[in-house]
Amino acid sequence: MEYAVLKVESKLFGRKVLVLDAETTPEEYVAGLDKLIADEQPWYMNRLCEANDLKTIHAFEDLGFRFVELRMFRDLRIENMQMGSHSFFPYEAVLLDEESLPAIYEIIRGYPADDRFSRDPLIPAGTSLKRLELYMKKSITNTRNEFIYGLVNHHTGELAGFRNGEFTSKKTVRYFYRFMAPTHNTPAYASMLEAAVIDALVKRGAGMVEAITSGLNVEEINEAFSTLGFRAQKTMVLLRKIF
């Protein structure tokens, strides 16, 4: 049975949070569970399943896993794409650093908590916000692969919004989160941010963007397909078990 330890979530909860490999069968899970518990003493475990694989979903549910999220996987080829973000001046995409963390946290705190952790009745209140803050700090400090691009007013320095992600290879980027400041939380500013980030990534040699969106985030899904031209790859169901 293959699995990985999620470092950010494990730090947050003070106990091991694991994700099972997507190829792990229910039978392999049962056979390896005692050893896994002895080795890791987990508190929380995830398993992604293909949304149409009801046999596997139901088998893991019979083993104590519960549905927490529907995920949509999508991609966009951006090689040689030009979004014309230079016309957005005085707004521009800026690679943010640690000095921007207070502004980033302020924007995040302005959003209502609405994800699988905030909705899960067995997860302590406030966990979702703290988790996001840890992930933003990780993106800021792990500059070798990760990034946070902000849409910044060149004249005032005001941060209108940001998107973070990582280079999974030299030419492939995976998006994580996007947040807009309350004063700029409109479709127009969100589109400016997306376009400016794509232009910045193309300049760095990226040719493909991959993204995973929660089924809860209908607004982002609509925008990704209608405005940016993303293509849906697949949908998956995230199950979780709390020990």
pLDDT tens sequence across 82-109:
999 989 999 999 999 999 999 999 999 9
The pLDDT of residue 189 is above 80: yes
Average pLDDT of span 223-229: 78
Give the Cβ contact number of residue 161 at 10 Å. 25
Q: Are 174 and 218 in a shared domain?
A: yes
pLDDT bracket for residue 136 (50, 70, 90): very high
Q: Are 41 and 99 in a shared domain?
A: no
> Per the domain annotation, does 241 fall within a domain?
no
Q: Are 35 and 107 in a shared domain?
A: no
Number of domains composing the chain:
2
Q: Are 92 and 37 in a shared domain?
A: no
pTM of the predicted protein model? 0.89
> Per the domain annotation, does 85 fall within a domain?
yes
Work out the mean pLDDT of the chain and round it to a whole number: 93
pLDDT value at position 155? 95
Average pLDDT of span 56-60: 98
Q: Are 104 and 212 in a shared domain?
A: yes
**For residue 51, what are the domain limits?**
3-64
3-state SS of the chain? Answer: CCEEECHHHHHHHCCEEEEECCCCCHHHHHHHHHHHHHHHCEEEEEEEEECCCHHHHHHHHHCCCEEEEEEEEEEEECCCCCCCHHHHCCEEEEECCHHHHHHHHHHHHCCCCCCHHHHCCCCCCCHHHHHHHHHHHHHHHCCCCEEEEEEEECCCCCEEEEEEEEECCCCEEEEEEEEECHHHCCHHHHHHHHHHHHHHHHHCCCCEEEEEEECCCHHHHHHHHHHHCCEEEEEEEEEEEEC
pLDDT value at position 124? 85
pLDDT value at position 118? 84
Q: Are 26 and 84 in a shared domain?
A: no
Q: Are 100 and 162 in a shared domain?
A: yes
Average pLDDT of span 128-141: 93
Q: Are 118 and 224 in a shared domain?
A: yes
> Per the domain annotation, does 243 fall within a domain?
no
Alpha carbons 60 and 84: distance in angstroms, whole number: 48
> Per the domain annotation, does 204 fall within a domain?
yes
Q: Which residue among 64, 86, 101 closes a domain? A: 64
> Per the domain annotation, does 71 fall within a domain?
no
> Per the domain annotation, does 22 fall within a domain?
yes
Q: Are 199 and 146 in a shared domain?
A: yes
